[in-house]
């Protein structure tokens, strides 16, 4: 047995040797930068890698074992990658020293697949879903709002008129005004009240608009001026009786707050800043801030704060000063023999388009300037009288100014002389 045992082991060694030789014959020989003799053997693949980092390029060749081929048909290790500015450009092959003969991959980053979407198409792709979501959200909110309104709407069986239109078909404005002003039985249901402010419609608009568009004759000038003076005299006057009214000061009289009727006469509008005088208690209902109105039309005593706020006559005198400026605007547009001035606001040549109180105070109170009276007005009796009235409206001392009633009488006499019928 001891003699024969080496003989039995010899064939086994020969078999193992043959298997090893067979495997060596099937092995793949690759170029390897970091291996002994710069070669390596593998049962897998040869690989060449180009590393690009911070502009530095490094080439590397090595072997990949068959066990590392995952997945086997397209191993991950053979794919180029790019992460945080580090690029790995990789190529794999399966013949002896193929990675040495293989051209090195490009050192530039692998190009991204081109996209067929332009800037407009890309914006549309992004904006489309966003718009759709917004529309759906608005639709949901609208439906929820309608359901809330319907839920809170309480039917009123006691007052079926609430379900009918406020103004029935075929109702005229005249009928509507008559119904609202009737005091007979059944005119008020006692549950609610509506206050209506009804005003006439004047197609010419304000005096400011009218004078910008048209020139006027002497007759037209007197109509505009006399009707304005009559309106202001009516405001300033206290009327006692069942149909009476308190004395009222306008405090913001100007051409933009005077309307021109179809017949060429004026009516004073916009009493938002007006104050009234209670003669029984001798008091004035006025807000604490007394410097109100349009700065261009403010009287000297308003500009320099010397106006007596407890004296109602002070407010009436300030109105007279402003009316004198309105007369100046009207008279400039009076055409005599085809000659007239362009429309301008008072002090147009002395202050900017939107003057401050200080700018107006400097011109009116300190320099004591007033709008210029053209010399041509002296050749026409009507314009000469108008100029005289203006000067007497512009006195720095309010007590020296004419009253609205005095101006009305003077213009009435002038109208009679001119043969004007009002």
What is the rounded CA–CA span in Å between residue 174 and residue 276?
A: 30
Distance CA 98, CA 240 (A): 123
- Lookup result for tokens 């009327």: 239
| Inter-CA distances, 62 with 38, 70, 91, 98, Å | 9, 17, 11, 11
- In terms of Cβ atoms closer than 10 Å to its own Cβ (0-12, 13-18, 19+), residue 43 is middle
* 42, 30 contact by CB (below 8 A): yes
Q: Which of 66, 73, 163, 252 is catalytic?
A: 252
- Characterise 357 by phi-psi region: left (phi > 0), alpha (psi -120 to 50), beta (else): alpha
Q: Is 157 a catalytic residue?
A: no
Best CA proximity match to 227, nearest among 246, 251, 200, 207? 207
Torsion angles phi and psi, residue 394, rounded to 5: -100, 10
- Show the DSSP H helices in 153-266 as ranges: 173-181, 207-213, 218-236
Annotated catalytic residues are 252
């Amino acid at each position: 047995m001891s003699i024969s045992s080496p003989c039995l082991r010899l064939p086994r060694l020969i078999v193992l040797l043959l298997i090893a030789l067979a495997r060596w014959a099937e092995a793949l020989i690759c170029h390897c930068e970091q291996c002994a003799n710069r070669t390596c053997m593998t049962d897998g693949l040869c690989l060449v890698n180009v590393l690009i980092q911070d502009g530095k390029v490094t080439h590397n060749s090595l072997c990949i074992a068959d066990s590392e081929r995952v997945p086997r048909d397209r191993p991950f290790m053979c794919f180029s990658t790019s992460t945080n500015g580090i690029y790995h450009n990789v190529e794999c092959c399966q013949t002896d020293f193929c990675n040495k003969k293989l051209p090195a991959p490009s050192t530039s980053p692998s190009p991204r697949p081109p996209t067929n979407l332009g800037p407009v198409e890309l914006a549309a792709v992004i904006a489309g879903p966003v718009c759709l979501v917004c529309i759906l959200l608005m639709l949901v909110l609208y439906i929820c709002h309608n359901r809330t309104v319907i839920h809170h709407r309480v039917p009123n069986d006691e007052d079926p008129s609430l379900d009918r239109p406020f103004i029935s078909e075929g109702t005229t404005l005249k009928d509507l005004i008559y119904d609202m002003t009737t005091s007979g039985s059944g005119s008020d249901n006692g549950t609610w009240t509506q206050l209506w402010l009804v005003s006439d419609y004047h197609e010419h608009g304000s005096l400011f608009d009218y004078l910008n568009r048209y020139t006027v004759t002497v007759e037209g000038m007197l109509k505009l001026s006399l009707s304005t003076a009559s309106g202001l005299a009516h405001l300033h006057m206290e009327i006692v009786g069942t149909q009476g009214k308190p004395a009222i000061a306008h405090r913001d009289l100007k051409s933009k707050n005077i309307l021109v009727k179809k017949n060429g006469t004026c009516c004073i509008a916009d009493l938002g800043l007006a104050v009234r005088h209670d003669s029984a208690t001798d008091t004035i209902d006025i807000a604490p801030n007394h410097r109100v109105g349009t700065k261009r039309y403010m009287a000297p005593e308003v500009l320099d704060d010397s106006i007596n706020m407890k004296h109602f006559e002070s407010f009436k005198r300030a109105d007279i000063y402003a009316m004198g400026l309105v007369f100046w605007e009207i008279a400039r547009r009076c055409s005599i023999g085809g000659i007239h001035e362009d429309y301008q606001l008072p002090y147009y040549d002395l202050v900017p388009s939107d003057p401050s109180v200080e700018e107006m105070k400097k011109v009116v109170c300190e320099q004591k300037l007033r709008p210029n009276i053209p010399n041509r007005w002296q050749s026409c009796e009507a314009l000469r009288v108008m100029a005289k009235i203006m000067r007497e409206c512009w006195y720095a001392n309010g007590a020296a100014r004419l009253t609205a009633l005095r101006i009305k009488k003077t213009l009435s006499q002038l109208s009679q002389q001119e043969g004007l019928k009002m």
